[in-house]
Structure 1
């Protein structure tokens, strides 16, 4: 599950911007069930966002945490970063804002959805989760991890 936390001063993004950004980010992850992709906008008061000790209302901090697909390798990691930045570009870069982005990778074994260990990538169980768009129990024959 990629979790995207987007920190900015209140008002930087409109509700329509937020919807479009969330849709753009979700579309980056074509191989994942859509419900895996979580986007959280964290709006901060103007007097509570500082860069280098100075108030800054023109900066966006994007922190992404990957769980479903980790340790994907150098070139693939760059492709994912580029795709995420492209989804943000109309709302950050094209508006002249400054931004910072990073991807943290957590251990897949420490992740659960509704109390269930997620199916392995590309398995019938993962395909089923994508079809029903939620975490549901699956049997051993659908995933080698059980």
Structure 2
């Protein structure tokens, strides 16, 4: 489950842009075989009086923390490739609007995650493919949690 927390000054990202950016972020993950219901994007407006960068109030800064649980990067090269794609998605909404930003990705232990109280199936298993097909978490038999490809 990727969770994207985006802190921004009110007005820096429009309601229309929020929907569009969330759709682009979701499409990135579904292109990697992640079901769309795993992708969460939270917009967290922070009033200028509460947003400081370098000890000074700031209304042009966006802070993004991405938390990955379902899958981990296999290598630094894969992480770099992801960040390049992610930055290209952000560009029209942040960079091209003259905002400053920072992105970090956290990778947490998959064993400490549950979806609707269930352990998520392993990637590329029969059970995983069913979660992708249905786009929701459904109970599965452990025999379907075996990698098939």
Structure 1 residue 140: Cα displacement:
1.7
Tell me if the contact between 2:126 and 2:146 (Cα under 8 Å) persists in the aligned partners.
Answer: no
Match of 1:129 in 2: 131
Q: Tell me which residue corresponds to 2:55.
A: 53
Q: Could you say what secondary structure the match of 2:77 adopts?
A: helix
**Contiguous gaps of at least 5 residues in structure 1:** none
Deviations 1:2-56 (A, max 9, x none): 1000000111111100001101111111210111111000001111110011000
Q: Per-residue deviation at 1:71? A: 4.0
Determine helix, strand or coil for the equivalent of 1:25. helix
Unaligned regions of 5+ residues in structure 2, if any? none
Deviations along 1:77-136, one digit per CA (max 9) or x if unpaired, are: 011111111111101011111100000000010010000000100111111111111111
TM-score scaled by structure 1? 0.96
Q: Conserved in 2, the CA contact under 8 Å of 1:28 and 1:80?
A: no
Distance in 1 between residues matched to 2:107 and 2:115, nearest whole Å? 17
Q: Mean Cα displacement is larger for which, 15-24 or 66-75?
A: 66-75
> Aligned pairs, how many?
145
Structure 1 segments, 4+ long, off by >3 Å, are none
Match of residue 79, structure 1, among 63, 81, 95: 81
Does the Cα contact within 8 Å between 1:119 and 1:143 map onto a contact in 2?
Answer: yes
**3-state SS in 2 of match to 1:42:** strand
Which residue number in structure 2 is paired with residue 104 of structure 1? 106
Counterpart CA distance in 1 for 2:67 and 2:91 is 20
- The answer to whether residue 23 in structure 2 is matched with residue 23 in structure 1 is yes
